[in-house]
Amino acid sequence: MIPGKGYSGYYSLKDIIEEKRFETPRIVFVFEGNQLFANGKPIQGLRIVDNYAIIKGIHYTSWEGATQIRSTERLEPSLDDPFVYLAQPGVMQGWPEHLIKKELGARVANTAVKVQVVVPLERVWLKVGKNAVHFAISGVVSEYEIKKIEVQRLKQFS
């Protein structure tokens, strides 16, 4: 299954890494060392070590969802979509909630859960959006795969 609930543009990280150079209609991915580049720019928040992706990203959710993530130390997909989504760190900092929701296709985005996760390559998909790189991870990201969690409520703009 491909992430994004019918939206195109997600590519398998494992396929990209195996090819070393992976061309799409809009983006050329190049893998060098442990860094991945999209159209010549390094993808921030992503390192590849052996067959694992180390991702520093932000999961946008509700305050209630964020407190559940912090207490269980797990990222769980929704009932209607088997993927957990992370945004590239720093790109949407300072954005109002409605723009974050539009960029990510999220229902709620008033709280940022900053995480560092280590997951097998075959579970990770990438999408280079208009403003940011989006990571999709299949299934539950368990407490063993999460290395850091930090929760921050977003400032509301009027």
Domain membership flag for residue 65:
yes
Q: Residue 81 has which token pair?
A: 């979509």
Provide Rg for the chain, Cα atoms.
Answer: 15
Domain membership flag for residue 4:
no
Q: Residue 18 has which token pair?
A: 């195996």
Domain membership flag for residue 59:
yes
The shares of helix, strand and coil residues in the chain, as percent rounded to the nearest 5, are: 20, 45, 40
* pTM greater than 0.85: yes
Domain membership flag for residue 117:
yes
Number of domains in the chain: 1
pLDDT score recorded for residue 8 = 66
How far apart (Å, rounded) are the C-alpha atoms in residues 55 and 89? 10
| pLDDT tens, position by position, 82-121 | 999 999 888 888 888 888 888 887 888 899 999 999 999 9
Q: Residue 102 has which token pair?
A: 């539009």
Domain membership flag for residue 21:
yes
Q: Mean pLDDT across the stretch 4-23?
A: 85
How far apart (Å, rounded) are the C-alpha atoms in residues 69 and 111? 11
pLDDT score recorded for residue 53 = 97
Q: Residue 140 has which token pair?
A: 């539950």
Enclosing domain of residue 71: 11-153
Res 5 pLDDT > 80: no
Domain membership flag for residue 1:
no
Domain membership flag for residue 158:
no
Domain membership flag for residue 6:
no
